[in-house]
Chain A
């Protein structure tokens, strides 16, 4: 180590490094009115201290040079002067008041969280940030994006470090310019602190309590910060990135997020029927594990006991029931560092990571967990996100159908056409509740496979899809969300899939007839 350090030293002093220029020596001015006030205040105090320093140290150095014993001076005998002492008590008081006045004004401005345009709930947890847009139905986690191999250099490996090493995240917080954005800050576990220097915002995230801060940014750009309160092992690895966009770009971004969310939900719904091969599960599991689990449980699965237990050979990941294993991954464990990943990972990812944990490092249980198993294990009911997602799918669908010209209700489709269209519609609009397998999730979401409803009277079936259930509020009316053709297709599909083989073909005209 020593030799390498010396090498570095020599190298470093010979070649003035390129990053040198990047670090400003002073506090950032930032991009908000408050941050500029703070900067001015900082400079004011700095100048005052410098002047006092020059005077006091000057007097000391003057004495050291001119009142030296070696010069043969005789020491003076004074050792008191009430006048001088009163003077150098009052002058500092006056200077302090001069400093306190602007500081008070800035502080009052900083603490005025009222009348905000946008509210964002910021939640810290070990070791990531979660952002939730109040009124936007949009929330996501933001985690470090720097690849592990860039910072884990213990074995001497040194992957090239990227430009924003340790200050980059997978999903930055996005806010618009010129809007008062209020942050409501809290924590899920220990105390964190949300700090973006360019906004002069730093607030502790206290578990169980909320704190407020606000900002109003002038310039679009990407601003980076870090967690500023020791929060455990990876305190240094939970950066904050805020992307400030113009209002127009921000609106576009919001739209894009909605679309992305819908896509994700569709993929989630699709994953429920898919039977993923072991290889694929293990592969996805390993990637997910490395990204989300390895910082505590270690790549080797040996953990950092006792705080972070080993998974290799552990009861939970081997002999214990898979459902319990899934539950811990999904919901976390109270009173420990283990958080729930249900809201952070897709069902498929959770399935993959559980599969991986149950088969890696010699845990060879042979269990292959599918997304559907995860859903079954965590209570089987549609999770929050899924329900919201299902709603947004239908929203998207509505938009799409509206774009289409008026549908041709007289058209007659073949069984194959109806079945393939029906399957698509079913997967996006129905499978979230009734499951891709048609087995539903009793009791709220009844099975369609072999059910009386879909094998019995066709008109009642169509009516149910069109108008929803009168008894069960969970069954929504799809009449306004789907086209008549789509309803025809989905009813046909439901009546013929999963061995329901009724052979019924429902055409758009039948649906139109029912709708009247």
Chain B
């Protein structure tokens, strides 16, 4: 019965055709799955951003201006907000917070300034990228106005004071009393030019 040399019969041929049809169907389904998963790989990019927005994963903050809608100011709590800056490779800018840390009450609006100076002899476009730690605080750290929403062009030797207006959401979890906001400054001149 297991000898491969058996001749095909008519009935096995019809069976064969039926089998072929179902093979085709399965292949189609599987190919669909392959393409769907390839798409899913890319869909993970926006999904990740959404996920970050909801959870504050990785300290990513929203890059659109928040509207101030705190109903009150919680004077019982004081939150320390620290500012850190870093310049990325190859950007000859001086970039630092003009104040290292501020104490705010949740719901209170606060303005702080950052100083940037292009120390090179060329015009350069900089882009500050914010990151908040602890990550879970990122969604409660609301930027009403921030220089990081736009890029910042500076001519040679030009300097600028850049403002950040923010408030800390009233719903900030109880266990958070310090929020660190870090800006990394990148040279995006070539990206803007092209």
A490 to B62, CA, bound (A): 54
Q: What residue of chain B has the Cβ atom nearest to residue A377's Cβ? A: B121
B122 to chain A, nearest CB (A): 9
A316 to chain B, nearest CB (A): 14
Q: Mark B160-185, 1 if CB is under 8 A from A, else 0.
A: 00000000000000011110101010
**Contact A331-B100, Cβ < 8 Å, known A112-B175, A209-B131, A210-B59:** no
Residues of A within 8 A of B84 (CB): 121, 134, 184, 210
On whether the beta carbons of B178 and A113 are closer than 8 Å, the reply is yes
On whether the beta carbons of A332 and B90 are closer than 8 Å, the reply is yes
**Contact A331-B131, Cβ < 8 Å, known A208-B184, A210-B180, A339-B89:** no
A189 to B129, CA, bound (A): 14
A147 to chain B, nearest CB (A): 27
Residues of B within 8 A of A119 (CB): 82, 180
The one of A111, A327, A338, A381 in contact with B89, judged by C-beta atoms closer than 8 angstroms, is A338
A135 to B119, CA, bound (A): 25
Q: Which of under 10, 10 to 19, 20 to 34, or 35 or more describes the interface residues of A? A: 35 or more
A330 to B119, CA, bound (A): 11
The one of A209, A333, A379 in contact with B90, judged by C-beta atoms closer than 8 angstroms, is A333
Number of B residues whose C-beta is below 8 Å from A? 35
On whether the beta carbons of A207 and B184 are closer than 8 Å, the reply is yes
The one of A115, A121, A211, A378 in contact with B119, judged by C-beta atoms closer than 8 angstroms, is A378
The one of B82, B92, B94, B182 in contact with A327, judged by C-beta atoms closer than 8 angstroms, is B92
Residues of A within 8 A of B129 (CB): 208
The one of B60, B89, B184 in contact with A332, judged by C-beta atoms closer than 8 angstroms, is B89
On whether the beta carbons of B90 and A340 are closer than 8 Å, the reply is yes
Residues of B within 8 A of A114 (CB): 175-178
On whether the beta carbons of A381 and B119 are closer than 8 Å, the reply is yes
A182 to B134, CA, bound (A): 12
**Contact A210-B92, Cβ < 8 Å, known A114-B176, A379-B121:** no
New A-B pairs, 5, CB < 8 Å, besides A189-B89, A208-B88: A210-B131, A210-B180, A335-B89, A339-B89, A379-B157
11 contacts between A and B (CB under 8 A): A113-B133, A125-B89, A186-B184, A208-B131, A210-B59, A211-B133, A330-B92, A340-B90, A378-B92, A378-B120, A379-B156
**Which chain A residues (254-308) contact chain B, with CB distance < 8 Å?**
none
Does B86 reach chain A (CB closer than 8 Å)? yes
Residues of A within 8 A of B100 (CB): 134-135
On whether the beta carbons of B133 and A184 are closer than 8 Å, the reply is yes
A469 to B92, CA, bound (A): 29
The one of A189, A212, A384 in contact with B134, judged by C-beta atoms closer than 8 angstroms, is A212
On whether the beta carbons of A340 and B92 are closer than 8 Å, the reply is yes
On whether the beta carbons of B178 and A115 are closer than 8 Å, the reply is yes
Q: Mark B117-146, 1 if CB is under 8 A from A, else 0.
A: 101110000000101111000000000000
Does A334 reach chain B (CB closer than 8 Å)? yes
Closest 4 CB pairs of A and B: A334-B90, A379-B119, A331-B92, A209-B131
